[in-house]
């Protein structure tokens, strides 16, 4: 019946279909729908930049306005992927620039971005509006200067946790006076900033809703900036200390008055350094906060931290350091009844953990916050009993990531592995999509995961399992698995090769310090031409005609439509 | 200032030159089994640990050996564990080195001594630790602090110059406040010392 509608009608209907997956599904219905969908598609998400080429993207979606690209594998975040592995955005930007694509938005994660790329980007797309870079590297503030100077309608510049080389330029001053369209600006990951340019920029951008400052912005400047931008919804304070020469009480008084006017702030972060006696200035806005990120605020602890938390009754997302302790988490549990997401980061990752949290804190949270659906928890220890209690209290987990600082630690009470605890979690949270395991774990936990984690899409395994059976349970049972990353676990060729077709249903598989051999990887590569099976060979272990029986230190495989990549460095071998 | 773990605080490290019949290195076992000899106050810097990138499973503390309830032994650090982003990891290390490099070294003068010494205040967690170190450094006895009488009974009084340029008796203010205001130390001797102590 839909065939009798003109294309415009179909297009209009498809406008209401926004999620990538739904649009992908729409495009598979029939050739007509495929055609209409592809011309009307504006937002494209590419989870692995090596799965497809820019040319094919442009050919299929000529109307694309917003592109998201991800580069390096997730474990690159933890230094497991060497420098120069790849993930370059340059070819994408060049190809898009050559075409007549009207790119407006670019979001990159774990990619290598050069100043040249940023320069070309800034000059090639007149309507460019939004640049979001997460965990990227390879560029300097010269690249940022190009963006500032050339993107006349820039609305968003969001730099999250990037490694940026800072030159002596004043890139912020490159925003022309005519730039008044900014809505979101985040430069928290930089060390320096030109304060005068910043204040002028804020003053002429009245639509600014999200502003995240860096540690070079002291309280005096923050106060002046907030005076100009009381409409902010999202604030990252940078430092929260006074300049040495300023008058404490006067600044504090002014800050307090100014903050009272900022009634729209719902998200608060920063506090990279803190003058504790100035904290009360922010108390008035705490009651409205829905997101609080104190995970870099090592200077707020003890009673100061508790006082702050007690005021935040509407919090939905809380990111905190483990120096809050179990007792502090109990306060969170009794205060933040709407809490959905909690992340507890280690404040002293290599230390003896005197201030860390344990299973007690987590159980308290689960008890007080039944809406909890997303957890990242770094802790000293965990027990099965606690996990079982958490599973019972919170059956709505979508993301559950537990990281015990000693990765093979058993339940300290029973000395048992944590299989039963995690088993309870996957059984109770039927909508679980992401899971990270740690602690002492046998094959049994994987049996449970394979049996119960029907919606699981991403699984991270470290120092776990006893045999190939563990990996097989997961590959067989988790039908929706997209990303599997495994390190230091005894899984080998038998598990790897049992169901080779499985990997084409997934985005990628990472295995490092496991038992897979070169021969096993070669076999897989031969059987599956639409997978790139890459071996990372750092230590020249495999320099001299390696034996097939030799274990592979790092393997990364992913499905792709464009064959082996041409930019692989010499230490990455793509097996064919 | 070296961060090495000290075995018994003996600066001369006599064990190294001691003649014995055992194989070289056969003493290691003995030292590792007593947790007190390996306090975790000073641990290998993360940079050192990163070098051992080929650590395998076996180096991670094997829980089956049974956890010790006493101070945990310094663990071998594993690359990429705990799994926190490099950016966050770097910001911790930066904070640590910032704190370390922030001029916590202060000059220590002792009346009558021909030259000054320097101590890193960050290394100590409390007054007794600092005073003990000063006693060792200058081979003298300062004794115990009392709020009423200072270091009465001793020929020496530890004093410090604070941010305002005043000379204060060491021990009056909380430790954290002390290390953030102390600019230099001076160990006063003799009658001058006794004068301060009996104020």
Nearest CB partner across the interface for B67, out of A163, A412, A487: A412
For residues A390 and A534, membership in a common domain is answered with no
Evaluate whether A144 touches A120 at the Cβ level (below 8 Å): no
Residues in chain A closer than 8 A to B75 (CB atoms): 406
| Residue pLDDT, tens place only, B138-165 | 888 887 888 877 887 788 889 998 877 8
pLDDT range class, residue B35, cuts 50, 70, 90: very low
Nearest CB partner across the interface for B86, out of A79, A378, A403: A79
pLDDT range class, residue A353, cuts 50, 70, 90: low
Partner A contacted by B78 (CB < 8 A)? yes
Q: How many residues does chain B have?
A: 199
Rg of chain B's alpha carbons, rounded to an integer?
A: 21
Partner A contacted by B56 (CB < 8 A)? yes
Q: Is residue A207 part of a domain?
A: yes
pLDDT at residue B156, rounded to an integer = 87
Kindly determine whether residue B50 and residue A407, on different chains, have CB atoms separated by under 8 Å: no
d(CA A419, CA A437): 10
pLDDT at residue B16, rounded to an integer = 58
Complete domains list, chain B, with CATH: 105-194 (3.10.20.90)
Residue B125's CB is within 10 A of a number of other CB atoms, namely 11
pLDDT at residue B105, rounded to an integer = 82
pLDDT at residue A460, rounded to an integer = 98
Residues in chain B closer than 8 A to A80 (CB atoms): 79-80
d(CA A516, CA A500): 14
Instruction: Give the start-end residues of each E strand in A224-345.
Output: 234-236, 267-269, 291-293, 317-321, 341-345
CB crowding B23-47: b at 16 or more within 10 Å, else e: eeeeeeeeeeeeeeebebeebbeee
Residues in chain A closer than 8 A to B64 (CB atoms): 410
Measure B65 CA to nearest chain A CA, in Å: 11
pLDDT at residue A431, rounded to an integer = 98
**Rounded-to-5 percentages of helix, strand, coil across chain A:** 35, 20, 45
| Residue pLDDT, tens place only, A101-144 | 999 999 999 999 999 999 999 999 999 999 999 999 999 999 99
For residues A87 and A193, membership in a common domain is answered with yes
Residues in chain A closer than 8 A to B50 (CB atoms): 79
For residues A135 and A171, membership in a common domain is answered with yes
pLDDT at residue B34, rounded to an integer = 37
pLDDT at residue B48, rounded to an integer = 35
Nearest CB partner across the interface for B60, out of A162, A408, A460: A408
Of chain A, the percentage scoring pLDDT greater than 70 comes to 97
pLDDT at residue B177, rounded to an integer = 82
Residue A575's CB is within 10 A of a number of other CB atoms, namely 19
Q: Is residue A448 part of a domain?
A: yes
Residue A436's CB is within 10 A of a number of other CB atoms, namely 19
pLDDT of B111 higher than 50: yes
From residue A426, how far is each of A70, A401, A447, A506 by CA, in Å?
28, 12, 11, 20
pLDDT of B75 higher than 80: no
Q: Which pair of tokens denotes residue A365?
A: 């949270």
For residues A218 and A183, membership in a common domain is answered with yes
Domain count, chain A: 5
* H or E stretch covering A293: strand A291-293
Kindly determine whether residue A403 and residue B83, on different chains, have CB atoms separated by under 8 Å: yes
Cα dihedral B72/B77/B80/B84 (nearest 10): 40
Q: Is residue A373 part of a domain?
A: no
Kindly determine whether residue B56 and residue A350, on different chains, have CB atoms separated by under 8 Å: no
| Residue pLDDT, tens place only, A49-102 | 999 999 999 999 999 999 999 999 999 999 999 999 999 999 999 999 999 899
Query: Nearest CA to A183 among A144, A157, A221?
Result: A157
Kindly determine whether residue A135 and residue B87, on different chains, have CB atoms separated by under 8 Å: yes
Q: Is residue A310 part of a domain?
A: yes
d(CA A2, CA A86): 44
pLDDT at residue B13, rounded to an integer = 57
Mean pLDDT score of chain B:
66
Contacts of A94 (CB under 8 A, 6+ apart): A54, A120
Mean pLDDT score of chain A:
94
Mean pLDDT of B105-126: 85
The alpha helices in A319-478, defined as continuous H runs, are 325-335, 359-368, 384-393, 419-428, 443-452, 468-477
Instruction: Check residue A197 and report its DSSP letter.
Output: H
Measure B59 CA to nearest chain A CA, in Å: 11
Nearest CB partner across the interface for B86, out of A77, A403, A539: A77
For residues A108 and A235, membership in a common domain is answered with yes
pLDDT at residue B49, rounded to an integer = 37
Highest mean pLDDT among A217-226, A453-462, B15-24, B65-74 belongs to A453-462
- In chain A the first and final C-alpha atoms are separated, in Å, by 47
Which residue is closest to A462 within chain B, CA to CA?
B81
d(CA A317, CA A230): 23
For residues A216 and A74, membership in a common domain is answered with yes
Give the pTM.
0.78
Evaluate whether A402 touches A379 at the Cβ level (below 8 Å): yes
Kindly determine whether residue B56 and residue A513, on different chains, have CB atoms separated by under 8 Å: yes
What CATH number should be reported for the domain holding residue A440? 3.80.10.10
Residue A479's CB is within 10 A of a number of other CB atoms, namely 12
pLDDT at residue A133, rounded to an integer = 98
pLDDT range class, residue B29, cuts 50, 70, 90: very low
| Residue pLDDT, tens place only, A531-568 | 999 999 876 655 666 789 999 999 999 999 999 999 99
Of chain A, the percentage scoring pLDDT greater than 90 comes to 88
Kindly determine whether residue A78 and residue B62, on different chains, have CB atoms separated by under 8 Å: no
Residues in chain B closer than 8 A to A436 (CB atoms): 83
d(CA A121, CA A92): 10
For residues A36 and A50, membership in a common domain is answered with no
Between A449 and B71, name the one with better pLDDT.
Answer: A449
Between B191 and A535, name the one with better pLDDT.
Answer: A535
Which residue is closest to A413 within chain B, CA to CA?
B67
Mean pLDDT of A381-401: 98
Per-window interface: A 285-314 vs B, CB < 8 A: 295-296, 298
Q: Is residue A358 part of a domain?
A: no
Q: Is residue A567 part of a domain?
A: yes
Q: What is the residue whose two structure tokens read 């797309």?
A: A125
Between B47 and A446, name the one with better pLDDT.
Answer: A446
d(CA A496, CA A130): 41
- Please give the residue range of the domain that contains residue A414: 381-491
d(CA B78, CA B57): 9
For residues A425 and A522, membership in a common domain is answered with no
pLDDT at residue A513, rounded to an integer = 96
For residues A441 and A304, membership in a common domain is answered with no
pLDDT range class, residue B95, cuts 50, 70, 90: low
Kindly determine whether residue A378 and residue B82, on different chains, have CB atoms separated by under 8 Å: yes
Evaluate whether A11 touches A27 at the Cβ level (below 8 Å): no
For residues A451 and A555, membership in a common domain is answered with no
For residues A178 and A90, membership in a common domain is answered with yes
Residues in chain B closer than 8 A to A135 (CB atoms): 85, 87
- Contact pairs from chain A to chain B, CB under 8 Å: 86
Q: Is residue A496 part of a domain?
A: no
Kindly determine whether residue A78 and residue B84, on different chains, have CB atoms separated by under 8 Å: yes
Q: Which pair of tokens denotes residue B197?
A: 């102590």
Measure B6 CA to nearest chain A CA, in Å: 18
Evaluate whether A22 touches A529 at the Cβ level (below 8 Å): no
d(CA A249, CA A237): 19
Least confident of A9-18, A545-554, B44-53, B179-188: B44-53
Nearest CB partner across the interface for B79, out of A79, A298, A463: A79
pLDDT at residue B9, rounded to an integer = 43
Interface test with B, best of A73, A74, A76, A79 (most B CBs within 10 A): A79
Angle CA A327–A330–A331, to nearest 5: 95
| Residue pLDDT, tens place only, A483-516 | 999 999 999 999 999 999 999 999 999 999 999 9
Rg of chain A's alpha carbons, rounded to an integer?
A: 25
Between A4 and A23, name the one with better pLDDT.
Answer: A23
From residue B195, how far is each of A286, A517, B152, B166 by CA, in Å?
53, 78, 9, 16
Residue A532, SS3?
A: strand
Partner B contacted by A351 (CB < 8 A)? yes
Residues in chain A closer than 8 A to B35 (CB atoms): none
For residues A337 and A206, membership in a common domain is answered with no
Phi, psi torsion values for A332, nearest 5 degrees: -60, -45
Kindly determine whether residue B80 and residue A75, on different chains, have CB atoms separated by under 8 Å: yes
Mean pLDDT of B97-118: 75
Contacts of A5 (CB under 8 A, 6+ apart): none
pLDDT of B4 higher than 50: no
Residue A528's CB is within 10 A of a number of other CB atoms, namely 17
């Amino acid at each position: 019946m839909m065939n009798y509608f003109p294309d415009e009608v179909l297009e209009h209907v498809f406008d209401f279909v926004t999620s990538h997956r739904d649009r992908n599904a729409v495009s598979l219905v029939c050739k007509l729908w495929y055609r209409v969908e592809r011309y009307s598609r504006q937002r494209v998400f590419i989870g692995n930049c090596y799965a497809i080429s820019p040319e094919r993207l442009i050919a299929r979606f000529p109307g694309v306005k917003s592109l998201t690209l991800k580069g390096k594998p997730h474990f690159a975040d933890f230094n497991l992927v060497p420098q120069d592995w790849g993930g370059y955005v340059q070819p994408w930007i060049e190809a898009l620039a050559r075409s007549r694509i009207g790119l407006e938005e670019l979001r990159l994660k774990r990619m290598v971005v050069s100043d040249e790329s940023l320069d070309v980007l800034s000059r090639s797309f007149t309507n460019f509006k939004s640049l979001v870079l997460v965990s990227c590297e390879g560029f300097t503030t010269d690249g940022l200067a190009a963006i500032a100077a050339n993107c006349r309608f820039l609305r968003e510049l969001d730099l999250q946790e990037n490694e940026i080389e800072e030159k002596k330029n004043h890139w912020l001053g490159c925003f022309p006076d005519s730039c008044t369209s900014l809505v979101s600006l985040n430069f928290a990951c930089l060390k320096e900033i030109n304060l005068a340019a910043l204040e002028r920029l804020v003053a002429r951008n009245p639509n600014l809703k999200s502003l995240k400052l860096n540690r070079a912005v002291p309280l005096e400047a923050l106060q002046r900036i907030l005076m100009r931008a009381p409409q902010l919804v999202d604030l990252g304070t940078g430092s929260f200390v006074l300049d040495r020469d300023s008058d404490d009480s006067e600044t504090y008084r002014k800050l307090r008055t100014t903050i009272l006017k900022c009634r729209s702030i719902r998200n608060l972060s920063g506090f990279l350094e803190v003058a504790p006696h100035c904290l009360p200035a922010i108390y008035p806005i705490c009651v409205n906060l829905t997101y609080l990120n104190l995970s870099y605020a090592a200077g707020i602890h003890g009673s100061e931290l508790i006082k702050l938390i007690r005021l935040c009754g509407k919090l939905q997302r809380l990111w905190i350091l483990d120096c809050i302790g179990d007792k502090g988490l109990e306060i969170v549990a009794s205060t933040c009844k709407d809490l959905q997401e909690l992340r507890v980061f280690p404040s002293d990752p290599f230390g003896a953990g005197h201030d860390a949290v344990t299973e007690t804190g987590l159980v308290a949270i689960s008890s007080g916050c039944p809406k909890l659906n997303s957890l990242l928890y770094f802790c000293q220890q965990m027990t099965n009993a606690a996990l079982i209690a958490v599973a019972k209290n919170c059956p709505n987990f979508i993301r559950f990531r537990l990281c015990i600082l000693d990765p093979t630690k058993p339940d300290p009470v029973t000395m048992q592995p944590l299989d039963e605890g995690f088993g309870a979690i996957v059984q109770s949270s039927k909508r679980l999509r992401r899971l990270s395991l740690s602690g002492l774990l046998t094959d049994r936990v994987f049996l449970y995961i394979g049996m119960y984690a029907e919606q699981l899409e991403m699984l991270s395994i470290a120092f776990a399992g006893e045999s190939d059976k563990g990996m097989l349970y997961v590959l067989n049972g988790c039908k929706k698995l997209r990303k599997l990353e495994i390190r230091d676990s005894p899984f080998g060729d038998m598990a790897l090769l049992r169901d080779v077709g499985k990997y084409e249903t997934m985005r990628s598989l990472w295995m490092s310090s496991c038992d897979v051999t070169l021969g096993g990887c070669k076999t897989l590569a031969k059987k599956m031409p639409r997978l790139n099976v890459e071996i990372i060979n750092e230590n020249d272990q495999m320099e001299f005609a390696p034996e097939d029986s030799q274990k592979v230190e790092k393997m990364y495989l992913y499905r792709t439509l464009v064959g082996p990549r041409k930019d692989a460095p010499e230490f990455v071998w793509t097996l064919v | 200032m070296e961060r090495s773990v000290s075995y018994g605080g003996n600066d001369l490290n006599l064990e190294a030159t001691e003649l014995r019949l055992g194989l070289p290195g056969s003493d290691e076992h003995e030292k590792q089994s007593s947790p007190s000899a390996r306090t975790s106050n000073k641990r290998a810097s993360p940079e050192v640990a990163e070098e051992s990138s080929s650590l395998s499973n076996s180096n991670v503390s094997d829980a089956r050996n049974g956890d010790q309830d006493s101070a945990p032994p310094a663990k071998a650090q594993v690359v990429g564990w705990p799994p926190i982003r490099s950016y966050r990891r770097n910001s911790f290390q930066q904070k640590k080195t910032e704190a370390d490099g922030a001029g916590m070294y202060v000059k220590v003068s002792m009346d009558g001594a021909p030259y000054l010494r320097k101590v890193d205040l960050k290394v100590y967690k409390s007054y007794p630790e600092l005073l003990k170190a000063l006693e060792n450094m200058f081979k003298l006895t300062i004794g115990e602090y009392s709020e009423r009488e200072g270091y009465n009974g001793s020929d020496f009084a530890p004093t410090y110059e604070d941010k305002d340029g005043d000379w204060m008796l060491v021990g009056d203010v909380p430790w954290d406040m002390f290390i953030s205001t102390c600019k230099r130390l001076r160990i006063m001797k003799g009658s001058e010392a006794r004068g301060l102590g009996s104020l």
